[in-house]
A and B are shown apart, each in its own frame.
Chain A
Amino acid sequence: MVGPLQSEVVLFPERIANLLGLSGTLGEIVGALIGAFIVGNIMLAMTGVAGPWAKRKITAAFTDRIAVDRIGPFGLLTIVTDSVRLLSKELIIPEGADRPSYDIAPLILPASALLGFSVIPMGSGIQLADPEAGLALVFAFASIASISLVMGGYASNNKYSLMGGLRAVAQNIAYEIPLIVTAMSVVVFAGSLQMSTIVAEQTSTLVSLGGISIPAWYAFVNPFAFVLFLVANMAEIGRNPFDIPEAPTEIVAGYQTEYSSVYFVLFYLGEFLHVFLGGAIMATIFLGGPAGPILPGFVWFVIKIWAFFLFTQWCRSALPRVRIDQLIEIGWKGMLVLSFANLVLTAIIVGVIA
């Protein structure tokens, strides 16, 4: 099953090195640095568009409003002014804050998300690394986020922050297991943890309907797993109806209550990066990665992760928030059981067919 495709994959750093005419160790280092710089900036740029502008515009569309439209075409330059505004605010550090961890927490959140993107195949040859255990690695990176949240929540010396941090940990533990167990069912199909293989496995045709061939994306092959993963993913990244670690009307802003200025921006960035990372994981393991007709792969990849972002915003506008005990109950009693059932069923079916 593991095709010869694998050996043909030329990773992004290598391409850059080739382009620059460098080879050997120097080529690897320079290529990796430039590649990481480009990927990181692509994601940060997307976050920059999503945070101060797209989020407002999307929510406004859902609620019959206009949102930002004063500066630049469609209010796009708000991104610039907002960045300046946020960065020029006073950085307030609460009395009794646990200093090193208070400062480190906002760095860990975006960093963990950016690390996750290193193994995501973004199409058009943009993939920084393609290790054998790519899928396991991306989940490992993504779950570092919880450490950041509990660090920020604890170090802020604020009861609301503490509650937010504790909620975040409880929630992430409850949903990480179903999330990964559901992803394992994809691994059972693909027979590999390597991202490029998982994507490649989805290129075959599932059925042909009137000349249009529907690809074997795992979302079509196993829609049940897709829905499970979607729900667990929403909880993992803490979006409505599971935005409990922040829960503005209950615990003010949860773990980020005390953060201002640059630290707040970092948290905010990190959250959006995690939303996009969640979308990227979904796209890769369920939606055929960067695959799609006509348009280049990278464009399809961006469309898919933005579609997921749109979905989170839709839920944010329309769905009430569940209570923390209900959330934990859904996680441990519902999602966990369903995800294991899904895994066992998938294993049996794959075993019987193959």
Chain B
Amino acid sequence: MSVELPDTTGVAEQSPEEIADLLGDLVIGREEHLNAPGFVIKPDTVVETLKRLRDDAGFDHLSCVTAQEYEDRFESIYHLTKFDDRTQEVSIVVPADKENPVSQSANEVFRTADWHEREAYDLVGINYDEHPDHRRILLPETWQGHPLGKDYDQDQPQVVPLREHQNPLLEDQQADNQSETMYLNIGPHHPATHGVLHIKAVLDGEQVVDLEPDIGYLHRCEEQMCQSSTYRYQIMPYPDRWDYISAGLLNEWAYARVAEDMADIEVPEYAQIIRTMGAELCRMAAHFLALGTFALDIYGDFTALFMYSIRDREKVQNILEDLTGQRLMFNYFRLGGVVWDLPEPREDFFENVRDFLDELPTALEEYHDMMTSNEILQMRTVGTGVLPPEVAKSYGATGPVARGSGVDYDLRRDDPYGYYENLDWDVVTEDGCDNYSRLLVRMREVEQSAKIVEQCIDLLEDWPEDERNIQANVPRTIKPDDDTEIYRAVEGAKGELGIYMRADGTEKPARFKIRSPCFSNLQTLPEMSNGEYVPDAIASLGSLDIVLGEVDR
């Protein structure tokens, strides 16, 4: 009884030596990261290197771009992997000059590099040559300095009068009279932006000509805060605040996984099952909310569907509250396990979960009756917001967004962690590539999550009392060796949630980089919306299910 592993027979597996051969003299040095071999290349050979890896070795997923500053150099790391086989990874390390950090942009090979490199420029200060849109992304245009750089003065006031900076209003924003198009600001305060998002839209009548998401309104320096906290206890509460829509435990697991792998901590099986159960409950809650808010975008106002999904999410929240003592910011995971065992009396807890699972098919039937089988909804969502699989891959889209485009990619199965590989469940994909498919994927994933939770409950119920070990022995302080580097990801509610950490021998990470699935997913919005009607662009945004807390971090 285990999940069916993906068919990777067609995917050639390369040893580090083969990759080194492939890259030939592009490689100027080697590094060893805990998750993957690292190859150091010259800053002006990025495109060629990535192209070779993508076309000849099948590394078609640029998962993340990490930038950081050392005492003597800047460095960008391209974390590459394959959509067909997530376990194969390679890190391309691109050092850049300390005085004049310039590195070639990877945008030509992977579209997702666009935003990732803008972020690297914004926060760390590396300049990317040949980048099509070299601007800040998270911080305001007027920001002085690069906050994650070494020489950044944190006490420097950032109130910069416009006269000391380029005045954005100076340039005439009004289109000339002959213009056929209309410029429209959607957000930052708009009923359909699901948070504080600003979309710069150019419309031709009701149709979208061009659309550009403007993010960063919710940037809270999460990476910086994690870098100034200790591995052992202080970082764990933060992940809850990235994707704050019920997905807390999934985020915590991202940190737990990367830190446990770095410090080589083995999690007891019993704790793994509790984690798996909690995480899937969170996924269900998150998907319910995604469903409800998508209904808001299509139906308008507070409709029955929104309340139904809130009702079901509430049931999950109650279970999670019983389990963790919290409803939103759980802080339940610890390195090496979870903070406490299931609530006593255990029978009541199991009964509550079972009641919820028993009612779930009826509830889902209700959703299908009201939503997916509604002709008007189908009219609105089928064939709109189309995201072809190749485009989705190029933008690094993951999670339900990629699976709605037929990309069979789920980290729970492809890069197994927790207890998933011992359980019986399926990865859900839909081939429609449209808003409807993404909706269906989420609804069917709720069913799969329920299946997982049910199996976990069965296992936990029969677990012998004296073997209920919820925590491994973890030292009080964790100080990984200097220069240990690792990038690990888990399947969050919205997709691949990855974390890169570099240790410097202290009990705090020297670099903590979060790869947010929403960040990459949101990048696909212009692809989906250009040429569509405004209502469909809004629906596409809803179907992406972004949480701005995670986009902006």
Cβ–Cβ contact B311 & A64, under 8 A: yes
Query: A241 interface residue, CB < 8 Å from B?
Result: yes
Q: Which of B301, B303, B536 contacts A323 (CB 8 A)?
A: B536
Q: Scan A304-315; emit 1 where CB is below 8 A from any B CB, else 0.
A: 000000000000
Give bound CA distance, A228 to B139, whole Å: 54
Q: Are A249 and B307 within 8 A (Cβ)?
A: no
- With contacts A64-B307, A249-B300 known, is A320 near B191, CB below 8 A? no
Task: List chain A residues, Cβ under 8 A from B300.
Answer: 240, 243, 246-249, 321
**Which residues on A sit within 8 Å (CB–CB) of B299?**
240, 319-321
In the assembled complex, B11 has its CB within 8 A of some CB on chain A: no
A65: interface (CB < 8 Å): yes
A318 touches B303 (CB 8 A): yes
- Pick out which of these stretches binds chain A: B140-148, B370-378, B414-422: B370-378
Quick one: given A322-B379, A324-B206, A325-B206, are A249 and B374 in contact (CB under 8 Å)? no
Q: What residues of B have a CB within 8 angstroms of the CB of A324 in the complex?
A: 206, 533, 535
A138 to chain B, nearest CB (A): 29
Contacting pair A322 B296 (CB below 8 A): no
B376 and A319 contacting across the interface, CB-CB below 8 Å: yes
> What's the Cα separation between A159 and B183 when bound, in Å?
9
Give B372-388 as 1s and 0s: 1 = Cβ < 8 Å from A's Cβ atoms.
00101101100000000
A160 CA / B201 CA spacing, docked (Å): 12
A252 within 8 A of B: yes
B376 & A322 in contact (Cβ 8 Å cutoff): yes
Question: For the complex, is B342 an interface residue (Cβ under 8 Å from A)?
Answer: no
Query: Would you give the shortest CB distance from B466 to chain A, in whole angstroms?
Result: 45
- A208 within 8 Å of B by Cβ? no
Q: Is B23 located at the chain interface by the 8 A CB criterion?
A: no
Judge whether A22 is part of the interface by a CB distance below 8 angstroms: no
Q: Is the interface of B mostly helix, strand, loop or mixed?
A: helix
The CA of A322 and the CA of B221, in the complex, are separated in Å by 41
Distance in angstroms from B372 CB to nearest chain A CB is 11
- Tell me whether B459 is interfacial, beta carbon within 8 Å: no
**Known contacts A63-B307, A65-B307; is-contact A320 B182 (Cβ 8 Å):** no
> Is A62 interfacial (CB-CB < 8 Å)?
yes
Asked whether B302 is an interface residue with its Cβ less than 8 Å from the other chain, the reply is yes
Residues of B within 8 A of A203 (CB): none
Whether B304 lies near A62 (C-beta < 8 A) is yes
Shortest Cβ distance from B207 into A: residue? A325
Partner of A317 from the list B190, B304, B533 (CB cut-off 8 Å) is: B304
Q: Which residues of B contact A83 (CB under 8 A)?
A: none
Contact A320 B376, beta carbon cutoff 8 Å: yes
Residues of chain B lying within 8 A (CB to CB) of residue A240 = 299-300
Give the shortest distance, in Å, between B180 (CB) and chain A (any CB).
15
A163 at the interface (CB under 8 A from B): yes
Q: How far is the CB of B70 from chain A (nearest CB, A)?
A: 47
CB-based contact B307/A323 at 8 Å: no
Question: What 0/1 pattern do residues 237 to 281 of B give for CB contact below 8 A with A?
Answer: 000000000000000000000000000000000000000000000
> Do A241 and B533 touch across chains, with their CB atoms under 8 A apart?
no
B306 lies within 8 A of chain A by Cβ: yes
* Any A CB within 8 A of the CB of B538: yes
Q: How far is the CA of A160 from the CA of B189 in the complex (A)?
A: 13
Q: Is A57 an interface residue (CB 8 A)?
A: no
In the complex, what distance in Å separates the CA atom of A208 from the CA atom of B252? 71
Instruction: Evaluate contact between B380 and A249: CB separation under 8 angstroms.
Output: no
Q: Is the CB of B206 within 8 A of A321?
A: no
Q: What B residues does A65 contact at CB under 8 A?
A: 307
Interface flag for A15 (CB, 8 Å)? no
Q: Are A250 and B534 in contact (CB under 8 A)?
A: yes
Bound complex: CA of A130 vs CA of B485, how far in Å?
86
Choice from B370, B379, B538 contacting A249 with Cβ under 8 Å: B538
Which B residues from 269 to 322 make CB contacts under 8 A with A? 295-304, 306-308, 311
CB distance from B379 to the nearest CB of A (A): 6
Number of B residues near A (Cβ < 8 Å) is 31
Is there contact, CB below 8 Å, between A249 and B377? no
Q: A325-B206, A325-B533 are in contact. Are A252 and B301 (CB under 8 A)?
A: no
Inter-subunit contact A323/B533 (CB<8 Å)? yes
B297–A241 touching, CB < 8 Å: no
B184 on interface, CB distance cutoff 8 Å: yes
- A63 and B303: CB pair below 8 A? yes
| Residues in A whose Cβ lies below 8 Å from that of B138 | none
Question: Is there contact, CB below 8 Å, between B190 and A318?
Answer: no
In the assembled complex, the Cα of A248 lies from the Cα of B536 at a distance in Å of 14
- Chain A residues with CB under 8 Å of B296's CB are 249
On whether A250 and B304 interact (CB within 8 A), knowing A323-B536, A325-B206, A326-B379, the answer reads: no
A127 to chain B, nearest CB (A): 36
Residue contact B304 to A318, C-beta cutoff 8 Å: yes
B192 contacts A by Cβ under 8 Å? yes
Tell me the chain B residues, 357-402 only, with Cβ under 8 Å from chain A.
370, 374, 376-377, 379-380
State whether B304 touches A63 (Cβ < 8 A). yes
Name B165-183 residues within 8 Å CB distance of A.
Answer: 182
* Residue in contact with B376 in the complex, picked from A59, A241, A317, CB distance below 8 Å: A241
Q: Which of A246, A247, A250 has the most CB of B within 10 A?
A: A250
Pair B191/A248 contact, Cβ less than 8 Å: yes
Q: Are B535 and A248 in contact (CB under 8 A)?
A: no
Asked whether B534 lies within 8 Å of A251 as measured between CB atoms, the reply is yes
A318 to B307, CA, bound (A): 11
Nearest Cβ on chain B to A166's Cβ, whole angstroms: 9
Point out the residues of chain B lying under 8 angstroms from A250, CB to CB.
192, 534-535, 538
Q: Could you say which residues of chain B place their CB within 8 Å of the CB of A248?
A: 191, 300-301
Q: Tell me how far the C-beta of A328 lies from the nearest C-beta in chain B, rounded to whole angstroms.
A: 10
Min CB gap B489→A, angstroms:
32
Q: B347 to chain A: closest CB distance in Å?
A: 29
Q: Please, how many angstroms separate the alpha-carbon atoms of A160 and B187 in the complex?
A: 12
Return chain A residues, CB-CB under 8 Å to B374. 319-320
Q: Contacts A64-B307, A241-B376, A248-B191; is A323 near B370 (CB within 8 Å)?
A: no
Q: What's the nearest-Cβ distance from chain A to residue B523, in Å?
A: 22
- Alpha-carbon distance A39/B534, docked complex (angstroms): 42
B307: chain A residues at CB < 8 Å are: 63-65
Provide the A258-295 mask, 1 if CB < 8 A to any CB of B, else 0: 00000000000000000000000000000000000000
Residues of A within 8 A of B190 (CB): 252
Q: Mark A156-176, 1 if CB is under 8 A from B, else 0.
A: 000110010000000000000
Cα–Cα, bound, A322→B536 (Å): 10
- B182-225: which residues lie under 8 A (CB-CB) from chain A? 182, 184, 190-192, 206
Interfacial residues of chain A within 51-90, with CB under 8 A of chain B in the complex: 59, 62-65
Query: Do B192 and A159 touch (CB < 8 A)?
Result: no
Cβ A321 vs Cβ B298 within 8 A: yes
Asked if B377 and A320 make an inter-chain contact with CB atoms under 8 angstroms apart, the answer reads: yes
List chain A residues, Cβ under 8 A from B295.
Answer: 320
In the complex, A65 Cα to B71 Cα: how many Å? 60
Complex Cα distance A247/B380, Å? 14
Q: Which of A251, A317, A325, A326 contacts B303 (CB 8 A)?
A: A317
Q: Cα distance A249–B302 when bound, in Å?
A: 11
Contacts of B535 in A (CB 8 A): 247, 250, 321, 323-324
Task: For the complex formed, measure the closest distance between the CB of A23 and the CB atoms of chain B, giving whole angstroms.
Answer: 53
Contacts of A64 in B (CB 8 A): 307-308, 311
Interface centre among A160, A241, A246, by most chain B C-beta atoms within 10 angstroms, is A241
Question: For residue B380, which residues in chain A have a CB less than 8 angstroms away from its CB?
Answer: 320-323, 326
* In the A-B complex, the 7 residue pairs with the closest CB atoms: A63-B307, A249-B192, A320-B376, A317-B304, A320-B298, A320-B377, A63-B304
Q: Which residues of B are interface residues toward A (Cβ below 8 A)?
A: 182, 184, 190-192, 206, 295-304, 306-308, 311, 370, 374, 376-377, 379-380, 533-536, 538
A sample of 19 cross-chain residue pairs with beta-carbon separation below 8 angstroms, ordered by A number, consists of A59-B302, A63-B303, A64-B311, A247-B300, A249-B538, A250-B534, A252-B190, A317-B303, A318-B370, A319-B299, A319-B374, A320-B295, A320-B298, A320-B376, A320-B380, A321-B376, A322-B376, A325-B206, A325-B533
17 new A-B contacts, CB < 8 A, other than A65-B307, A318-B370, are: A62-B304, A63-B304, A63-B308, A64-B308, A160-B184, A163-B206, A243-B300, A247-B300, A248-B300, A252-B190, A319-B299, A319-B374, A320-B376, A320-B380, A321-B299, A323-B380, A324-B535
